[in-house]
Amino acid sequence: MTELDINIKVRVFENIKALTPADAALMQAAKVALINSYSPYSQFKVAAAVLLENGEILTGTNQENASYPVGICAEGTVLSAVSALYPNVAVKKMAVTVKSGRSLVSKPVAPCGICRQRIYEYEMRFNADIEIIMMGEEGEVYRVKSIKDLLPLAFFKM
């Protein structure tokens, strides 16, 4: 028997100001996009902003539905926008942020399991890591260099 020792590194920044200017700008774009969240059922706004290889920034937000499972996460919305508008351009970074109508979120929120798999597909498709930057409404920011850090031993099929 052997063992696989899987390590992930999450870089923790004190706040948005501690990020590089490019990362802070991407997170700021996500924050601005929060207003587009359609979340009457959860009162939980989520926004994702992506930086593409061509320098474009696109944003997406969660879009809920009265039939709850029909709703789409912010990460899924923005990746669908990428596929629609720039189908052949790789995603370099994704920033994710939230705002709750119920309480102040001061811890980073990470993509759900389904969205991790969605993001992984983009990494594989373009053979390029996607840096993920996460924060709540305020406070610390987490950054990982690839979705593989959030989804080790991911499922993939060629």
84: its two tokens = 């629609």
- To the nearest 5 percent, what fractions of the chain are helix, strand and coil? 30, 25, 45
Q: What is the smallest separation between the CB atom of 150 and ligand THU, expressed in angstroms?
A: 11
Find where tokens 């099929």 sit: 157
Shortest Å distance, C-beta 66 to ligand THU = 12
CB 157 within 8 A of CB 125: no
Q: In the set 16, 39, 93, 99, which binds ligand THU (CB under 6 A)?
A: 39
Binding mask 66-105 for ligand THU (x = CB under 6 A): -----x-xxx------------------------------
Q: How many helices (H) and strands (E) does the chain have?
A: 3, 6
* Residue 45: both structure tokens together: 């706004």
**Contact between 117 and ligand THU (CB under 6 A)?**
no
Q: Is 123 a catalytic residue?
A: no
Taking CB under 6 A as the binding criterion, the range among 24-32, 41-49, 119-127, 136-144 that sits at the site for ligand THU is 41-49
Give the nearer residue to ligand THU in terms of CB position, either 71 or 139: 71
Q: What are phi and psi of 151, to 5 degrees?
A: -140, 70
List, in order, residues 6 or more apart from 154 with CB less than 8 Å away: 116, 117, 120, 147, 148
Contact set with ligand THU (CB under 6 A): 39, 42, 44, 46, 62, 64, 71, 73-75, 111-112, 115
Residues tagged active-site: 75
